[in-house]
Amino acid sequence: MELNLANQGHYFWALLPEIVLSLCAMAVLLVDVFQKGNRSTASSPAIPWLSIASLVLTAVANVALYRMSHQAGSEPGMVALDTFRVIVNFICLLAAGMALLLSMGYLDRRGINRGEFHALILFATLGMMLMAGATDLLMVFIGLEVMSVAIYVLVGFDRLDPRSSEGSLKYFLLGAFTSAFFLYGIALTFGATGTTNIARLNQLLISGNRDEPMLMAGMALLLVGFGFKVAAMPFHMWTPDAYDGAPTPVTALMATGVKAAAFAAFIRVFLVGFAGGYEHWANPIFFIAMLTMIGGNLIAATQGSVKRMLAYSSIAHAGYLLAALLAINSGGPGAFLFYLLVYTLMTAGAFGVVIANARGADERVTLEDYSGLAHQKPLLAAVFSIFLLSLAGFPLTAGFLGKLYILRALVSAPQNLTPMAVILVLASLVSYFYYLRVIVVMYMRPARGADEHAHARLPRPAMAGVVAAAALIVLLFFTAGVRVFPGGMTAAGVRERWGILDLADRGWQSLNEPREAVASAAAP
């Protein structure tokens, strides 16, 4: 089927995955209400499986969207019809699926097994997918708010845990404040250009038809909004408390799916909408990425709690993804998406092991709690080691390939990003310390008791998901990564297959040609 978004009826097909997921989320909520009858009763064991089936059905709709074609030359609409959107959708669905699997058993253990938990995860995923496919700043904001409201509630879902309530309150207050920044950024951008459509923004930047000071202010405010959502420094203040206080399956979703959606929207807005203004925003992002990589790793190295260590580690990985964003024109989209997929697998899997080894009423897990885990629970220790080695970027793991692709894109970029590549390598070396420290404790130190880790287990579905994630991390290394995404990692392949850069081509030309020549080329 050939879609033309000038025809309003075609929006049904363009938004098919999101429509399917929203209907399924409402169905899960209603099924739980009718089968439970009162709030004091735990939800049916069928609810998590119904939620996972909803994600599978949405994935099928996503495949159907991929098979539809976009009519050439048609007017840009509110949503994208490209491969980039489809793949980010799959990554968000994968993150949500892992969160649902990890919640099995965990919710009963914490006494918070209520059906709205699963419905909220589905609604949060809906917001992520709207963000990933938005080609209008207003649609980005709508997706952001749908996702954020659900996540605010999920972070504070364990109402009897003071840390959960504290993390939710901090996240809500800072998130609401940042949403205002984002909305003001949209308003200033509209005031400077007269449009909120991302494709038209690029055309106006190339032609020089905009209010420069107002547009720069709008860019800055949008950068603050995205920096908050991807947990980049110095906009990361909410991350440790929210990640540490949230139910751990929610932490896994926030560290993977939320970050994936925010980065996808970040790329669309800045690499497509503001491509012609690269020289204005590249330097701020360069320094934010540098600070995020270095600061995230240094603070993670000081943490005694494994969960907080992974929280700060996720901040450092946001820096790696920002580096890929800067190198987008030299193969960055392939490197970015490959690393995003691998990061989702290894981070969700790592939090799964944290859930398995959690102990006590507050489920705090210190580094010493992993002593001797390899001798009493060898499978858990093995998969955790794979996740940690991949996060560090060791060879024979997909994390190594992901960082290698980002480094290659940085070194070959025409914007002289070699210093960023050097910083990425040095920051990764710092991360080796705290990742390997956990492995040393698991394998080299004796357990504090014969039954120290007797409780360390996951329900079979969750354990199957964690083991599958570890196997995929190794498998992706041996398939060389380039086969995972069509078109490979080259700039030519990216432009041929991804679609994300088609609208930005003329913006990139403006970096290498006199502004007057570009403006005359863009004139009707």
How many domains is the chain partitioned into structurally? 1
pLDDT in tens, 123-169: 999 999 999 888 889 999 999 999 999 999 998 888 777 888 888 88
- Identify the domain containing residue 229 by its residue range: 2-522
pLDDT of residue 524: 39
C-alpha distances out from residue 268 to 81, 120, 378, 524, Å: 13, 26, 43, 25
Provide the H-helix boundaries in 358-459: 373-376, 378-392, 398-412, 418-444
User: Using alpha carbons only, how large is the chain's radius of gyration in Å?
Assistant: 22
When mean pLDDT is compared over 299-308, 385-394, 497-506, the highest value belongs to 385-394
The CA-based angle 152-254-85, given to 5 degrees, is 110
- Pairs from 29-34 (Cβ < 8 Å, separation ≥ 24): 29/115, 29/116, 29/119, 31/115, 32/114, 32/115, 32/116, 32/118, 32/119, 33/115
Q: How far apart are CA 99 and CA 122, in angstroms?
A: 10
pLDDT in tens, 455-465: 667 788 888 98
pTM of the full structure: 0.85
pLDDT of residue 20: 92
pLDDT of residue 330: 55
Q: How far apart are CA 425 and CA 407, in angstroms?
A: 8
Residue that has been written with the tokens 């502004």 in this structure: 515
